Amino acid sequence: MTDLFGKLVVRAPAPRRKAVLVASAALAGLFLLYAAFELGRYDAGFRLVDAVRGALAASTRIRSLEAENDRQRGELEAAEVARRVDREGYKQVERSLGDMQSQIARLTQDLSFYRGLVQPDSLVHVKVQTMQIVPAPTLGQFGLKFVLMQTGTPEKSVFGSLTVTIDGLQRGKPSTLNLAQVAPSRRGGLAYAFRYFEDYDELMQLPPGFEPTRVGVEIHAGRDLQHSYRQAFVWKAQGMSMETETEPALPGAAGPGLESRGGKNVQVETE
User: What would the pLDDT profile of 42-63 be if each residue is shown by its tens digit?
Assistant: 666 666 667 777 888 888 889 8
CA–CA separation, 77 and 128 (whole Å): 55
pLDDT for the residue 246: 63
CA–CA separation, 73 and 65 (whole Å): 12
Q: 271: pLDDT confidence band, cut at 50, 70 and 90?
A: very low
Q: 267: pLDDT confidence band, cut at 50, 70 and 90?
A: very low
User: Which SS3 state, helix, strand or coil, does residue 102 take?
Assistant: helix
Answer whether residue 261 shows pLDDT above 90: no
Other C-beta atoms within 10 Å of 28: how many?
10
On whether the CB atoms of residues 182 and 220 are closer than 8 A, the answer is no
Q: Which of 124, 266, 144, 139 is CA-nearest to residue 203?
A: 144
**Which residue did the predictor score with more confidence, 266 or 17?**
17
**Which residue did the predictor score with more confidence, 60 or 23?**
60
Answer whether residue 253 shows pLDDT above 60: no
Highest-pLDDT range among 41-45, 80-84, 253-257: 80-84
On whether the CB atoms of residues 192 and 126 are closer than 8 A, the answer is yes
Domains annotated for the chain, with CATH where assigned, are: 123-267 (2.60.40)
CA–CA separation, 143 and 166 (whole Å): 13
Answer whether residue 168 shows pLDDT above 90: yes
| Percent of the chain at pLDDT exceeding 70 | 75
User: Which SS3 state, helix, strand or coil, does residue 178 take?
Assistant: strand
Answer whether residue 120 shows pLDDT above 60: no
pLDDT digits (tens, 9 = 90+) for 121-157: 456 788 898 889 999 888 888 999 999 988 877 778 8
Go through the chain and tell me how many residues it has: 271
On whether the CB atoms of residues 148 and 190 are closer than 8 A, the answer is no
CA–CA separation, 134 and 240 (whole Å): 9
Is the pTM of the predicted complex or chain greater than 0.75? no
Q: Which of 218, 222, 215 is CA-nearest to residue 248?
A: 218
pLDDT digits (tens, 9 = 90+) for 216-230: 999 988 887 777 888
pLDDT for the residue 106: 77
Q: 164: pLDDT confidence band, cut at 50, 70 and 90?
A: very high
Residue 205 CB burial class (10 angstroms; 0-12, 13-18, ≥19): middle
CA–CA separation, 68 and 76 (whole Å): 12
